[in-house]
């Protein structure tokens, strides 16, 4: 009797995994977010990212944003790409590493490259969701080094 029940539970779990897009990946999402940078001077802005799951636990994203460091009379357009690993649940924790190219509109800093580490949470609700993340940024310019935070809403398919 116990073997029959265990077999039924295992069969139900396999059927659920087979129907669940989160289990095998392939999901794509677009998120709009607000961003706050706490570097040598504070910056704030907004951005958009496109994320693609390539396997159940791995994903990549590309993002572009606009950050205004008004105290330094500087604005920056970060163009970035990230490789992440996450645990696909309704609330999905993830961590990743990324690289970026930063287009600066300033007399203080030049265009440059940088890298970052990210820790985040993504709330997965059918075709919509939300994301929150903290990043540590290392760039060629001290103005943008330090923590940043992103908070956004997304659409998935």
Which domain CATH number covers 81? 2.40.160.20
Question: Which structural domain, as residue segments, surrounds residue 130?
Answer: 25-156
Q: What is the domain count for the chain?
A: 1
Within-domain flag for 6: no
Mean of pLDDT over the chain: 88
Over residues 97-143, the pLDDT tens digits come to 999 999 999 988 999 999 999 999 999 998 999 999 999 999 998 88
Considering the domain boundaries, does residue 8 fall inside one? no
Q: Does residue 4 fall inside a structural domain?
A: no
Q: Is residue 14 part of a domain?
A: no
Note whether residue 10 is domain-resident: no
The structure's pTM equals 0.81
Helix (H), strand (E) at residue 114:
strand 112-125
Positive/negative CA dihedral, 139, 143, 149, 152: negative
pLDDT at 23: 46
Residue 86 within any structural domain of the chain: yes
- Asked which of 18-22, 61-65, 82-86 is least confident by mean pLDDT, the reply is 18-22
pLDDT for the residue numbered 142: 86
Q: Is residue 134 part of a domain?
A: yes
Question: Residue-wise over 48-76: b if at least 16 C-beta within 10 A, else e?
Answer: ebebebeebeebebebebbbbbeebebbb
């Amino acid at each position: 009797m116990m073997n029959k029940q265990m077999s039924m539970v295992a069969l139900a779990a396999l059927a659920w995994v087979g129907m669940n897009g989160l289990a095998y990946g392939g999901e794509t999402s677009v998120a709009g977010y607000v961003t706050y940078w706490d570097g040598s001077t504070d910056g704030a802005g907004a951005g958009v990212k496109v994320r693609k799951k390539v396997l159940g636990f791995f994903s990549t994203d590309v993002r572009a944003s606009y950050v205004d460091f008004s105290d330094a009379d500087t604005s920056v357009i970060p163009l970035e790409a990230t490789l992440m690993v996450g645990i696909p649940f309704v609330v999905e924790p993830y961590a990743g590493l990324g690289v970026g190219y930063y287009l600066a509109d300033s007399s203080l800093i030049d265009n440059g490259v940088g890298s970052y580490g990210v820790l985040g949470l993504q709330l997965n609700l059918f075709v919509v969701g939300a994301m929150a993340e903290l990043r540590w940024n290392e760039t060629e310019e001290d103005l943008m080094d330090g923590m940043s935070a992103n908070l956004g809403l997304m659409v998935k398919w």
